[in-house]
Protein backbone atom coordinates (compact mmCIF):
# COMPACT_ATOMS: atom_id res chain seq x y z
CA UNK A 1 0.00 0.00 0.00
CA UNK A 2 1.36 3.41 -0.86
CA UNK A 3 2.24 5.96 1.81
CA UNK A 4 -0.29 8.53 0.60
CA UNK A 5 -3.04 6.18 1.81
CA UNK A 6 -1.53 5.91 5.28
CA UNK A 7 -1.17 9.68 5.61
CA UNK A 8 -4.83 10.42 4.90
CA UNK A 9 -7.73 10.24 7.30
CA UNK A 10 -10.65 7.89 6.69
CA UNK A 11 -12.92 10.76 5.63
CA UNK A 12 -10.28 12.07 3.19
CA UNK A 13 -9.75 8.62 1.67
CA UNK A 14 -13.43 7.87 1.03
CA UNK A 15 -13.91 11.25 -0.69
CA UNK A 16 -11.30 10.50 -3.35
CA UNK A 17 -11.75 9.52 -6.98
CA UNK A 18 -10.47 6.00 -6.33
CA UNK A 19 -13.21 3.75 -4.92
CA UNK A 20 -12.51 2.53 -1.39
CA UNK A 21 -13.72 -0.86 -0.19
CA UNK A 22 -13.91 -0.93 3.60
CA UNK A 23 -13.98 -4.23 5.46
CA UNK A 24 -15.56 -3.78 8.90
CA UNK A 25 -14.40 -6.63 11.11
CA UNK A 26 -13.57 -7.75 14.66
CA UNK A 27 -10.72 -10.01 15.78
CA UNK A 28 -13.10 -12.44 17.52
CA UNK A 29 -15.25 -12.91 14.39
CA UNK A 30 -14.47 -16.23 12.64
CA UNK A 31 -15.94 -15.27 9.22
CA UNK A 32 -13.95 -12.01 9.39
CA UNK A 33 -10.73 -14.02 9.49
CA UNK A 34 -11.62 -15.43 6.06
CA UNK A 35 -11.54 -11.97 4.48
CA UNK A 36 -7.80 -11.01 4.39
CA UNK A 37 -6.78 -13.54 1.69
CA UNK A 38 -9.96 -12.72 -0.28
CA UNK A 39 -9.20 -8.98 -0.11
CA UNK A 40 -5.57 -9.62 -1.04
CA UNK A 41 -6.73 -11.53 -4.13
CA UNK A 42 -9.22 -8.76 -4.95
CA UNK A 43 -6.43 -6.16 -4.72
CA UNK A 44 -4.24 -8.25 -7.04
CA UNK A 45 -7.14 -8.48 -9.52
CA UNK A 46 -8.09 -4.78 -9.39
CA UNK A 47 -4.78 -3.11 -8.55
CA UNK A 48 -4.85 0.69 -8.45
CA UNK A 49 -8.52 0.78 -9.45
CA UNK A 50 -9.46 0.32 -5.80
CA UNK A 51 -8.21 1.02 -2.28
CA UNK A 52 -9.00 -1.50 0.45
CA UNK A 53 -9.20 -0.59 4.12
CA UNK A 54 -9.93 -2.69 7.16
CA UNK A 55 -11.68 -1.13 10.15
CA UNK A 56 -11.85 -2.92 13.49
CA UNK A 57 -15.36 -2.26 14.81
CA UNK A 58 -14.15 -2.82 18.40
CA UNK A 59 -11.58 -0.01 18.11
CA UNK A 60 -13.72 2.27 15.90
CA UNK A 61 -17.32 1.82 17.07
CA UNK A 62 -18.24 5.38 16.02
CA UNK A 63 -17.43 4.66 12.35
CA UNK A 64 -19.35 1.36 12.47
CA UNK A 65 -22.37 3.13 14.00
CA UNK A 66 -22.21 5.99 11.46
CA UNK A 67 -22.46 3.50 8.57
CA UNK A 68 -25.03 1.28 10.33
CA UNK A 69 -22.80 -1.79 10.40
CA UNK A 70 -24.99 -4.36 12.14
CA UNK A 71 -23.19 -7.57 11.26
CA UNK A 72 -19.59 -8.39 10.53
CA UNK A 73 -17.86 -8.76 8.26
CA UNK A 74 -19.55 -5.90 6.41
CA UNK A 75 -18.10 -4.56 3.19
CA UNK A 76 -18.88 -0.99 2.16
CA UNK A 77 -17.78 0.58 -1.13
CA UNK A 78 -17.28 4.35 -1.08
CA UNK A 79 -16.81 6.71 -4.00
CA UNK A 80 -16.55 10.51 -3.65
CA UNK A 81 -17.60 10.19 0.00
CA UNK A 82 -20.82 8.29 -0.76
CA UNK A 83 -21.73 4.71 0.08
CA UNK A 84 -22.43 3.12 -3.30
CA UNK A 85 -22.68 -0.50 -2.13
CA UNK A 86 -22.87 -2.35 1.17
CA UNK A 87 -23.17 -6.01 2.09
CA UNK A 88 -22.68 -8.11 5.19
CA UNK A 89 -21.02 -11.52 4.99
CA UNK A 90 -18.10 -13.20 3.28
CA UNK A 91 -17.83 -13.02 -0.51
CA UNK A 92 -15.21 -14.70 -2.69
CA UNK A 93 -12.82 -12.47 -4.66
CA UNK A 94 -14.18 -13.21 -8.19
CA UNK A 95 -17.76 -12.55 -7.03
CA UNK A 96 -16.69 -9.40 -5.17
CA UNK A 97 -14.75 -8.13 -8.18
CA UNK A 98 -17.78 -8.66 -10.44
CA UNK A 99 -20.10 -6.80 -8.07
CA UNK A 100 -17.65 -3.91 -7.66
CA UNK A 101 -17.06 -3.58 -11.41
CA UNK A 102 -20.85 -3.59 -12.03
CA UNK A 103 -21.48 -0.98 -9.33
CA UNK A 104 -18.66 1.25 -10.61
CA UNK A 105 -19.91 1.00 -14.19
CA UNK A 106 -23.41 2.00 -13.07
CA UNK A 107 -22.00 4.77 -10.86
CA UNK A 108 -19.99 6.13 -13.80
CA UNK A 109 -23.12 6.16 -16.00
CA UNK A 110 -25.11 8.04 -13.34
CA UNK A 111 -22.31 10.55 -12.82
CA UNK A 112 -22.36 11.13 -16.58
Which of 22, 32, 38, 64 is the catalytic position? 32
Query: Is the omega angle on the peptide bond into residue 37 within 30 degrees of 0, that is, cis?
Result: no
Residue among 26, 29, 53, 90 flagged as catalytic:
29
32 carries an active-site annotation: yes
d(CA 9, CA 71): 24
Contact 34, 75 (CB under 8 A): no
Annotated catalytic residue 29: yes
DSSP class of residue 52? E
Q: Distance between CA 75 and CA 59 in Å, rounded?
A: 17
Beta carbons within 10 angstroms of residue 105's beta carbon:
10
Q: Which residue numbers are catalytic?
A: 29, 32
Amino acid sequence: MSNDIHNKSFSELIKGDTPVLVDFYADWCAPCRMMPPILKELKSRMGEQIHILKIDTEKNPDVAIRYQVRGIPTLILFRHGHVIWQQAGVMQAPQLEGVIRDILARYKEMAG
